[in-house]
Structure 1
Amino acid sequence: MASFWDPQSVESGKSMDIQETIRRWSGCQFCYAVADEVSTDVITMEVSSWPTLDSIGRPAFLPIPGLSSSSIEPDEKTVLLDVAAHDLSKKARMVFGIIQEGSPVQEGEVFGMAVVPNAWPEPERVVRGDAVGQLIPSPLYDVTSEAWELARVALLASATPPLNEEEVIAVLSEEPPGES
């Protein structure tokens, strides 16, 4: 079984329980979507598969399996999705088990969402009306705060060589400064 990024609430520490969320939406691809551009009419989202973690915990954003090849640019791991702003804002948001109805999507927000690959539109076509629910049957799982933390950790991990087991034990056994 793949190791998926399982967001922990920045406020409460509660886990999203990503394995259960992915199981709940079997038959769909669970995806990671960033609101890249937001206008009054259209929201452009950059979408990939939900991040997996390598053996040392670094995230990998892979292409969405099952999309037609016309939707995917060669050498790209994300695809763009244009959705009517009004219709996307009607979707319920789930924030660690709490439903929020009708919040407008803001640029930079990050969501988990179940996607039906064979409902994916042709490139540069805006998804509108009932087609939004057919493509994205799930609520929008808002993981914006947690995604910022993931990005910070990924940046630090890319700049730091992995520690071996002895180094990890030494770091974990050190007393924090000021606690002697």
Structure 2
Amino acid sequence: MSRRLSHHLAITTCALIALLWQYPSKAAEAEWAQCGNVLQLPPRPVFAFSPSDPQAVEMSGDVANVQEGGISKLSGNVEVQRGTRQLKSDHLEYHEAEELIDVQGNVQFWDEGTYVASERAHLDLRAETTELYANDYIFLDNHSRGEAAEAVITSKKLITVNDADYTTCNPGSNAWKL
């Protein structure tokens, strides 16, 4: 493929993604002729706790180990909740002084209209960012899903995916994919 054609294809692809992203309500309501319109998030877990302060971070797990220096480790059925964001994983390490959380193993992340399944994630509570690695994602607002090497979610609900593919097809169908 010529360099000019490759450049044109990249620009066209970016324009298509931008266009689809601008009209989430139209996309969610549209009959996705090639792919169907039944994209759904996996059900959110019902957590055993309910934080009274939306900025409070609540964590639980089957086994807890608190170490000197404000490092806490949780394992087994780990659950984290802060505001509308929920996370489940197998293992968690929390650094209280830096307000950092690292999770590994069967990571599932939910926020309003967003779901990401990953093997590991890093949460910076001060910066209000979540980084998820090697993941599958679903964004209901624009009826899209895909796989990404990395997804970064900010407090402003800005989501950036890197080394990713993208489709509006339902799971099990990739009639088209970028």
- Output the TM-score relative to the length of structure 1: 0.23
Structure with the higher fraction of residues in strand conformation: 2
**Structure of greater relative contact order (alpha carbons < 8 Å, 6+ residues apart):** 1
